[in-house]
Amino acid sequence: MKRFWKKLAEMLVTLLGVTFLTFCLSVLAPGDPAAMVLEAGDHIVSEELLAETRHEMGLDQPFLVQYGRWLGGVAHGDLGLSYSAKKPVAEKLMEGSTGTFFLAAVTVCFMLIISLPLGIWSAVHRNRWPDYLVRVGSFIGVSMPNFWLGLILLYVFGLKLGLFPITSSSVTAKGVVLPALTLAIYQSAKYVRQVRTVILDELHQDYVVGARARGISERRILYLHILPNALLPLITLLGMSIGWLLGGVAVIEVVFSWPGIGNMAVHAITMRDYPLVEGFVLWIAIVYMVINALVDLSYAYLDPRLRRTLGKGGGN
């Protein structure tokens, strides 16, 4: 329990720090959000109107007051109003999150489908041609800029073959395939190495030797003995790669015009829509930390040894 509170406190500190940093930047940045808001209307802006709008938006307040106000709002679940969309930030974030979470979920499925069999195949045939093939493929995958890969897939499967839409204005099952595949290829290139290492570690354990000595078939050893044991580290590594996914998703969403949170954030930054950018940074930070915490918890839950020590430790 003590650990839980400590963890929670650390999370709060991180959230404060990251949002404060973004806030500082938005104040230092060139460009006047009030002017951006007014100029969007396409008429000539008078100095008085500008001052009035600044006042309405609270931009004439001292910096710390602005940040304090924002924090106060967040504590009440109010993330402010998006300048560009004239909608509550929370609403915009929810709109974008549906798309991004769907994309992330499909990506993780693709990634597991690609990397688990390849990683196991490579480990079982260590230092023979399947292993070399997978390793070379993985190397190419990590060296390839994913936005370039995305453009190529878009060109080949979207434009030339016409199999998938080239832009998605809404979240559709057909539209998600190419962006998810792009992200999954890059993610798999990293994950497949980790799968290989984990399986190799298990292959050399005593219980595998024991099982072989008892004449249990290789296939049975792999599926019933090694895989369950490899599951734990694989889940942790998967959790870590989801964090990367949340960061890398923005570029790919832009490439495929996918209606997700990353695409929205890039537009928000271009429009100097700072409340939306702030909200985005805060939201991503929370999601990322919750996923990490869940991974930690699942680890403790899935490993009976850890569960026992946790049970004992729970008393103090």
Partner 1 sequence: MSETLKGMVEALRTHRLFAVYTALVALIVLLAIFAPYLAPQDPMEGDMKNVLQTPSAAHWLGTDKLGRDTFSRIVAGTQVSLFMTLCLVLLVAVVGSVVGIVSGYFGGKVERVLMRFADMMLAFPGVVLAIAIAGILGGSVINTILALLAVAWAKYARLVRSLVVKIRNRDFILAAEVNGTRTRDILWRHILPNVLPMVVITGAMDIGTMMMEIAGLSFLGFGAQPPTPEWGLMLNEGRQYIQTAPWLMVYPGAAIFLVVTVFNLWGDSLRDVLDPRQD
Q: Using CB under 8 A as the criterion, which residues of the chain lie in contact with partner 1 when the complex forms? A: 10-11, 13-14, 17-18, 21-22, 25-26, 28-31, 139-140, 142-145, 147-148, 151-152, 154-155, 159, 243-244, 246-248, 250-251, 254-255, 265-266, 269-270, 274, 277, 280-281, 284-285, 288-289, 292
Cβ 149 to partner 1 shortest distance, Å: 8
Phi and psi angles of residue 57, each rounded to the nearest 5 degrees, phi first: -80, -5
Nearer to partner 1, 10 or 78 (CB): 10
Three-point CA angle 58, 59, 62, nearest 5°: 95
Q: Whole-number minimum distance, CB 160 to partner 1, in Å?
A: 9
In the complex, the smallest distance separating the C-beta of residue 151 from partner 1, rounded to whole angstroms, is 5
- Report in angstroms how near the CB of residue 257 gets to partner 1 at its nearest: 11
Using an 8 Å Cβ cutoff, are 168 and 258 in contact? yes
Q: Which backbone phi and psi does 144 adopt, to 5 degrees?
A: -95, 125
On whether the CB atoms of residues 134 and 194 are closer than 8 A, the answer is no
Residue type, 180: A
Q: How far is the CB of 276 from partner 1 (least distance, A)?
A: 11
Nearer of residues 222 and 284 to partner 1, judged by Cβ: 284
Q: CA 58, CA 217: separation in Å to the nearest integer?
A: 71
- Nearest distance from residue 227's CB to partner 1, in Å? 24
Cβ 33 vs Cβ 273: under 8 Å:
yes
Main-chain dihedrals φ then ψ at residue 217, nearest 5 degrees: -65, 150
- Cβ proximity to partner 1, 31 vs 228, nearer residue: 31
Q: How many CB atoms lie within 10 A of CB 316?
A: 6
Query: Which stretches within 58-205 are classed as H helix?
Result: 63-75, 89-124, 129-143, 146-153, 173-203
Phi/psi zone of residue 44: left (φ > 0), alpha (ψ -120 to 50 degrees), beta? Answer: beta
Nearer to partner 1, 27 or 113 (CB): 27
**Nearer of residues 5 and 173 to partner 1, judged by Cβ:** 5
Q: What is the DSSP string of 125-153?
A: TTTSHHHHHHHHHHHHHHHS-HHHHHHHH
Minimum distance from CB of 65 to partner 1 (Å)?
A: 20
Nearer to partner 1, 29 or 49 (CB): 29
Distance (Å, rounded) from C-alpha 89 to C-alpha 282? 11
Nearer to partner 1, 211 or 276 (CB): 276
Distance in angstroms (rounded) separating the CA atoms of residues 121 and 19: 44
Nearer to partner 1, 171 or 269 (CB): 269
CB of 193 to partner 1, least distance (A): 12
Q: How far is the CB of 284 from partner 1 (least distance, A)?
A: 5
Which two tokens mark 122?
A: 């490579």
Rank residues 234 and 273 by Cβ distance to partner 1 and give the closer one: 273
34, amino acid identity: A
